[in-house]
Chain A
Amino acid sequence: MAANVAIAGRLRSVRRLVFLYLRCLGQQMKAILAYEADFVVLLFSAVIVQFTGFLFIWTIFQRIPNINGWTFWQVVMMYALIFVTEGVGSLFFEGTWRLTNLVYTGQFDQMLVRPVSPIVQVLASAVGFNGLGNLVTGFVLIGISITNVPVAWTPGRLLMLAILIASAATIRVAINLASAASAFWVSSPWSMVPMFVHQLSEFAKYPITIYSFAVQALIVVAVPFAFVSFFPTAYLFNNEAWSAIGLLTPLVAVYSLLVAVWIFNAGLRRYESTGH
C-alpha cells in the first residue's frame, strides 16, 4: 500500500516535470517565432546542410560501388541518423548548448532557486528551429533509404526502427548534456568542449570499419556515437558481423543517460556562482 502511494507520487512528479518542460519549451518557441525571418533561415539552412552532405556521398558512390561492403543507401541511413538525432537535440534540447553562457552570466542561479530540476530547466531553456529542418530531411532520407535496401520491412522491424531511432536520439542528447556540463568546470564565456565532442560525430557518418582501432574505441566506448548511426544501421540491414551489437543500442541509451545525469550532478555540486 505504502509502495503504491510512493509510486503514484513518483509518477505525479515525473508528469509535472514533463508538463513544466513543455510549458518552458512552448514559451521559447513563441519567442523564436516572433522573428519570422530567422525561423525561415534556420529551417532552410539545415535543409541545405543535409542536401550538400547527401550530394557529397552520392558523388563518391558514382565512382565506387561500396565502401568496405557498405552500399550507398546504407551509408545514407547512417548519415540520416546523425542528422535526425541532431534535429531532436536542437529542436527539443537546444538548452544544453546555452549552459556555458547561463553559468558565465550568472543566470544559472535563477534556475537553482526554482523548485524544479535544473536539468529540466536547462534542457527547456532554448529551441533550435534548425532541428526541424534536420528532422524532416533526415526522416525523408531514412524513408528513401529503407525502400532502397533489400530488407523485408515487417511490422516488427519497423517497430525496431522506431526504438533504435529513439535510443539513438537519447544517446545524442545524453552526450550533449554531459559535454555541456563542462561549463561547471571551465570559467570562460564559451566553452569549446561541447563543440569539440559534437565534432566527433563526423566519424559516425561513415561505417566504423574504415577507421583505425583507436578511433573505433573512441566512438564505440568513450563517446558512443557509433551507437547513434553505425550499429543501428547494421542491425536494421542485417549486417552479419555487426547486427547483434545493434540490439544493445537501447541499453547503451539508458547507460549514457545515467552517466550524463551523474556528470551533470557532479558539476552542480562544485558549482560556484559567478562573483565568488
Chain B
Amino acid sequence: MSGLRKYSAIARTSLEITFLYRTSFALNMIGSIFYVFAMFYLWQTIFLGSPGALGGFTWPEMKAYLLVAFLLNALMTWFAEWNMSVDLREGRVATDLARPMDFQASRFASAVGPVPFEFCSAVAVGAVVALMFGGIALPADGAHAAVFLVSAAMATLIKFGLVYCVSMTAFWTTGTDGITVGRAAVQNLFSGALIPLIFFPDWLRAVAAVLPFQGMVSTPALIYLGKMDTPTTALMLGVQALWAVGLILLGRLAWRGAQRAVTINGG
C-alpha cells in the first residue's frame, strides 16, 4: 500500500505546482482558446455557406466536436512533457534513477496529478465558448456520456504512452522541442483534432486508421455524439485499449535501452 502512497504524493505535488504557476496555466489555456475561436469562426462560415449537414455533421454537432477535441487536448498538457525533457537535459534524471520508484509510474503520477484541474478548467472555458456560439449538441444520452468518459480516460492513457515514448528520444538528442512540435502536428491531424476524420479522402483515412492517434480525439468525440453503433463502439474501445497498453509497454522497453545511453552532465 505504501507503494501507491509515494506515487499519489507525486501526483499531489504535481497538481500543487500547477496551482503555483496558475497564471501561466491560465494564459496557456487562453492562448490555445484563440485557436479554438479561429476554428469556430472558420466552421461557422463554412456551415453558413452550405446549409444542412457536412460529412454527416450538423453545426451544433460540429461545435460539440471542436470543444470535445479542445477538452481532450487540454488534458496532460505539455507541462508533463516539458518537465521530462528538461529533467533529462539538466541531468536531474540522475536523482530519479537513484529513487526506489518505477520511473514510468512516477512520470505517470506527475502527469496525471493536474488532470482533474485541467479537466475542470477546460470544461469551464469550453462552456463559455459554447454559450458565445449559441450552444452545442449534448451527449446522446447518459450511457453515451458514461462510455465517453471511459473512452476519454483511455485517450489520456494513449497520450501518456505516446508522450513518454517520444520524450525518451531526449536521451539521444539534446533537445526535444522539435520532436515535441512534430509529434503535436502529426497527432493533431491524425487524431481528428483539426477536422473529423470522415472529411479525409479514403487514402488519408486509411493512414489514420492504422495509427494510434485516432483514439486520442476521434473515438471519444464520436462516442460523445453517438455517431457509432454499439459493435463499432466496442471495437474502437478495444483498439484504444490495445494502443494504450502497447505504447506503455513500448515506453518501458525504450527506458531500458535509454538507461544505457544516459550520460549525465559532468561525467
Contact = CB atoms under 8 A, between A and B. Distances in A.
A202 interface: yes
A44 B178 CA distance: 8
Interface string A65-83: 0111000000000000000
Interface stretch (B10-18, B33-41, B109-117): B33-41
B178 A130 contact: yes
B55 interface: yes
B174 interface: yes
B186 A48 contact: yes
B42 A67 contact: yes
Interface string A38-69: 10011111101100110110011011101110
Range class of the A interface residue count: 35 or more
Contacts of A52: 185-186, 188-189, 194
B49 A37 contact: no
B93 interface: no
Chain A residues touching B, majority SS: helix
Chain B residues touching A, majority SS: helix
A203 interface: yes
A48 B185 CA distance: 7
Interface string B202-213: 001000000000
B174 A38 contact: yes
Q: In this complex, which of B55, B173, B186, B200 has the most chain A Cβ atoms within 10 angstroms of its Cβ?
A: B173
Range class of the B interface residue count: 35 or more
Interface string A237-257: 000000000000000000000
A199 B46 contact: no
Contacts of A68: 45, 49
A193 interface: yes
Given A45-B178, A64-B50, A202 B38 contact: yes
Given A48-B182, A203-B37, A211-B41, 5 more contacts: A41-B179, A43-B178, A188-B23, A198-B31, A203-B34
8 contacts: A35-B175, A42-B175, A59-B201, A67-B45, A192-B28, A199-B31, A200-B34, A203-B37
Interface of B: 21, 23-24, 27-28, 30-32, 34-35, 37-38, 41-42, 44-46, 49-50, 54-55, 172-175, 177-179, 181-182, 185-186, 188-189, 194-195, 199-201, 204
